[in-house]
């Protein structure tokens, strides 16, 4: 399983991941306020968790990096967990990037070797087709363990991926902006986690929707112009 709901509400601000180790979300509590333009809106939000339902919650060991990129109103939130779901055998096989002076778009390709079937899948392109196209292929047993780059207020301007085999992708994008680095945590035996999926924000032109509108991930990709923010999600490597 591991289904993901659609993204509801506004896409402004910083994407936030909330989890409780070993817990399952069973409800919400919060506060609301009345605004003339949007009627009733949540102003405070808190999850209610139970820890006695399952012996082990799905993906409870996953670790989220800091969020890098736009912290304002620019961009619509995405979450590639929708592709990964709860699979323990899925891994990244390649990363496709469109880049010029900034990161126009990114798409992650996967292979799931459950039962030896080698099922291939991919995310939709997060962002648009602007800039030159690049593909970074990973070999069997090779995983991304760190990501470096740069960002400005409105977009991610540069990305570079490094693997557990010491191999680095080319540097995608331009050289402007604030540098950042996201490094995989390590297991108790010292083995690094691996990059599993991305969350973040992508910029969509002329998408003026009310706060309560359900966002459609399958909108025409020509509406998308850039990757505006990213959060990297790491998982224990194990044998994939």
Residue 72 lies in a domain: yes
**CB neighbours (10 Å) of residue 224?**
25
Residue-range definition of the domain harbouring residue 21? 14-57
Residue 30 lies in a domain: yes
pLDDT digits (tens, 9 = 90+) for 176-203: 999 999 999 999 999 999 999 999 999 8
Is there a single domain that holds both residue 124 and residue 32?
Answer: no
Find tokens 């990213």 and name the residue: 230
Total number of domains in the chain? 2
Q: What is the distance between the alpha carbons of residues 227 and 80, in angstroms, rounded to a whole number? A: 14
Mean pLDDT to the nearest integer, 218-222: 37
pLDDT digits (tens, 9 = 90+) for 52-111: 888 888 888 999 999 999 887 777 889 999 999 999 999 999 999 999 999 999 999 999
Is there a single domain that holds both residue 34 and residue 148?
Answer: no
pLDDT digits (tens, 9 = 90+) for 104-149: 999 999 999 988 889 999 999 999 888 999 999 999 999 999 999 9
Q: Secondary structure of the chain: what % helix, strand, coil (to 5)?
A: 5, 50, 50
Residue 2 lies in a domain: no
Is there a single domain that holds both residue 38 and residue 71?
Answer: no
Is there a single domain that holds both residue 80 and residue 143?
Answer: yes
Is there a single domain that holds both residue 52 and residue 90?
Answer: no
Cross-strand partners of 77: 201
| Of 216 and 175, the one with more pLDDT | 175
Q: Count H helices, E strands: the chain? A: 1, 16
For residue 96 the two structure tokens come to 């496709």
Residue 212 lies in a domain: no
């Amino acid at each position: 399983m591991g289904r993901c709901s659609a993204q509801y509400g506004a896409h402004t601000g910083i994407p936030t991941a909330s989890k409780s180790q070993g817990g399952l979300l069973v409800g919400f509590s919060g506060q609301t306020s009345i605004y003339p333009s949007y009627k009733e809106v949540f102003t405070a939000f808190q999850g209610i968790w139970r820890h006695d339902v399952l012996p082990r919650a799905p993906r409870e060991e996953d670790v989220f990096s800091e969020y890098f990129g736009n912290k304002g109103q620019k961009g619509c939130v995405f979450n590639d967990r929708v592709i990964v779901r709860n699979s323990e055998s899925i891994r990244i096989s390649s990363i496709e990037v469109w880049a010029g002076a900034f990161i126009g778009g990114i798409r992650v390709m996967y292979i799931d070797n459950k039962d030896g079937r080698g099922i291939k899948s991919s995310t939709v392109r997060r962002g648009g087709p602007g800039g030159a196209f690049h593909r970074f292929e990973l070999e069997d047993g090779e995983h991304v363990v760190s990501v470096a780059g740069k960002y400005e207020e409105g977009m991610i301007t540069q990305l570079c991926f490094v693997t557990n085999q010491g191999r680095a992708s080319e540097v995608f994008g331009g050289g402007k902006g604030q540098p950042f680095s996201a490094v995989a945590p390590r297991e108790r035996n010292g083995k690094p986690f691996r990059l599993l999926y991305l969350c973040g924000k992508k910029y969509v032109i002329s998408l003026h929707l009310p706060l309560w509108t359900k966002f459609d991930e399958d909108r025409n990709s020509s509406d998308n112009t850039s990757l505006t923010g990213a959060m990297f999600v790491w998982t224990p490597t194990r044998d994939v």
